[in-house]
C-alpha cells in the first residue's frame, strides 16, 4: 500500500507543486531516491523556465559529454541505489562497465588520487571546500571519461547521480571543453539533491553526512551493504528529505536575495 502526499515547495524560480506516492510500510533509503531525483528535476525545470523568460538558453545537449570528465559526488543513498541498478543489468552491459570502473581505479591509483578519494568517502566529518578544490582540479586535469560513459553517452542515464542532472549551463557549449580556463555559466540550483540525501542519511543513521566520489561508489556500497538494508517508515523518510529540502531552499532565498 502507498500513501499519497501533496508537496508544495516555494523555490527562488517559482512554486513547485506535485504529488508523491510513498509506501506505508518500512522501506530502505533507496526507495526514496527516485522521488528525490524527481523533485530535483522539477525544480530544475522551473529554473530553465525562468532562464528562458530572461532570454537565456540551456546549451546542454545529448552527446555533449564534456562535463563527464569532472569528479561527481554521490550521497550514500545514491551509492546504494547505483549498486542495485548495476547489479540488475544484463551481463553483456554489466561486465564491460565493471571493467571500465576497474581501469579507472587503476589509473587514479597510478596518479595517487585513489587514496585521496577514499579518504573523502571515509571522512568522519564534511570535507571543507579548500581541501576538495585541489583534488577536484587534479581529477579534472586527467580528463578521465566517467566509467559509466559509453560512446560519449551515459550508460546509466535513468539512474545517473543527482549532481549530473543538476549541472546545466547557459554559456556556449564549447566553453565546457575546458572549465578551468573558461568561465561557464551554470544554471542556479536551489536544492542539491546529493547533499540533501546525504544529510537525511546522516540524520537517520546518526552518522556524518558524506559524499562518495562516483568512481568508487560501487566499492563503497559493497563495503556498507549491511547499512543499506536498514528500513524506516516511508513517511518518515519523506519527512526527513523534505526537512533538508526546506533548509536548502531557505539558504537559496537568502543567497539570491543578497545578490539583488
Residue 223 to residues 61, 121, 144, 200, 257: CA-CA distances in angstroms?
36, 11, 25, 20, 43
Please check whether residue 210 is in contact with residue 80, taking contact to mean a CB–CB distance below 8 angstroms: no
DSSP string, 130-192: HHHHHHHHHHHHHTPPPTTEETTEETTGGG--HHHHH--B-S-GGGGGGTTTS---BPP-S--
Q: Structural domain boundaries of the chain?
A: 2-258
Phi, psi of 207 (to 5 degrees): -130, 160
User: In the predicted model, is pLDDT for residue 208 greater than 90?
Assistant: no
Mean pLDDT over 41-64 rounds to 92
Residue 154 has pLDDT above 80, yes or no: yes
Return the pLDDT at 260. 42
pLDDT tens per residue, range 31-48: 999 999 999 999 999 999
Residue 258 banded pLDDT, cuts 50, 70, 90: low
The predicted model gives 225-239 an average pLDDT of 95
Predicted TM-score (pTM) of the model is 0.94
pLDDT by residue (tens digit) across 81-104? 999 999 999 999 999 999 999 999
| Cα atoms in the Cβ-side hemisphere of radius 13 Å centred on 80 | 20
Amino acid at each position: 500500500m502507498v500513501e499519497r502526499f501533496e508537496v508544495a515547495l516555494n523555490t527562488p524560480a517559482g512554486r513547485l507543486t506535485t504529488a508523491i506516492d510513498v509506501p506505508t510500510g518500512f522501506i530502505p533509503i533507496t526507495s526514496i531516491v527516485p522521488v528525490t531525483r524527481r523533485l530535483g528535476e522539477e525544480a530544475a525545470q522551473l529554473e530553465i523556465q525562468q532562464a528562458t523568460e530572461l532570454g537565456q538558453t540551456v546549451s546542454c545537449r545529448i552527446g555533449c559529454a564534456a562535463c563527464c570528465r569532472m569528479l561527481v559526488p554521490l550521497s550514500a543513498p545514491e551509492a546504494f541505489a547505483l549498486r542495485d541498478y548495476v547489479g540488475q543489468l544484463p551481463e553483456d552491459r554489466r561486465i564491460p562497465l565493471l571493467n571500465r570502473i576497474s581501469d579507472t581505479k587503476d589509473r587514479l591509483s597510478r596518479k595517487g588520487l585513489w587514496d585521496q578519494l577514499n579518504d573523502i568517502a571515509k571522512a568522519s566529518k564534511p570535507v571543507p571546500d579548500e581541501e576538495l578544490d585541489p583534488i577536484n582540479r587534479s581529477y579534472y586535469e586527467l580528463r578521465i571519461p566517467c566509467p559509466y560513459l559509453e560512446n560519449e553517452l551515459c550508460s546509466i542515464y535513468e539512474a545517473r547521480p543527482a549532481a549530473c542532472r543538476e549541472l546545466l549551463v547557459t554559456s556556449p557549449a564549447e566553453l565546457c571543453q575546458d572549465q578551468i580556463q573558461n568561465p561557464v555559466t551554470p544554471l542556479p540550483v536551489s536544492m542539491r539533491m546529493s547533499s540533501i540525501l546525504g544529510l537525511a542519511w546522516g540524520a537517520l543513521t546518526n552518522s556524518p553526512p558524506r559524499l562518495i566520489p562516483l568512481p568508487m561508489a560501487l566499492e563503497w556500497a559493497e563495503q556498507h551493504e549491511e547499512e543499506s538494508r536498514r528500513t524506516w517508515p516511508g513517511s518518515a523518510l519523506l519527512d526527513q528529505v523534505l526537512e533538508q529540502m526546506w533548509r536548502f531552499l531557505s539558504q537559496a532565498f537568502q543567497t539570491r536575495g543578497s545578490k539583488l
